[in-house]
Amino acid sequence: MKRTFLILLFAGLTMGASACLVSEADYEKLEAERDALQDKLTAAEKENTLLNQEILTIYKERETLLGQIELCRQELKAKEDARNQAQAEAASWQNKTFYEVRRGDTLSSIADRSGVSLDTLRRLNKLNNDVIWVGQRLRLRAAQ
């Protein structure tokens, strides 16, 4: 057995690359299998390219959504801050006895912000109409 192997090895080395120990039919079969595997590899590479493109698209969509979520968070925070400020302002109006009229104020806007009716404001400040002026001090609550 060793001798046969050595003879085949020697024959392969002396004949060079043209020596072949498989039949032509087997060789053609191997070539066909190789070509089929190459076709499968090419198809797999194309599919991989398409999947990578889909992954990139998904990542871009994800980044867009994360940006939108962040904008929503910022908007929600701004609304919450505005609500808290409005609540604090409303609470401060509850403790005020007097208010000094500022530019742009109207008697009805002061009534709305202070939670006091127009009639009560008129009565407390002895007003015959809704005319007020900047710097005027208005009583918001009756003396206790």
Q: State which fold the 96-144 domain adopts.
A: Membrane-bound Lytic Murein Transglycosylase D; Chain A (3.10.350)
100: which DSSP letter?
E
Average of per-residue pLDDT values in the chain: 87
pTM: 0.46
Average pLDDT over residues 30-55: 96
Average pLDDT over residues 88-100: 84
Instruction: Give Cα separations from 37 to 24, 41, 65 (angstroms).
Output: 20, 6, 41
Task: Identify the pLDDT of residue 93.
Answer: 78
**96 band by pLDDT with thresholds 50, 70 and 90:** confident
- Domain ranges in the chain? 23-95, 96-144
140: which DSSP letter?
-
Q: What percent of the chain has pLDDT over 70?
A: 85
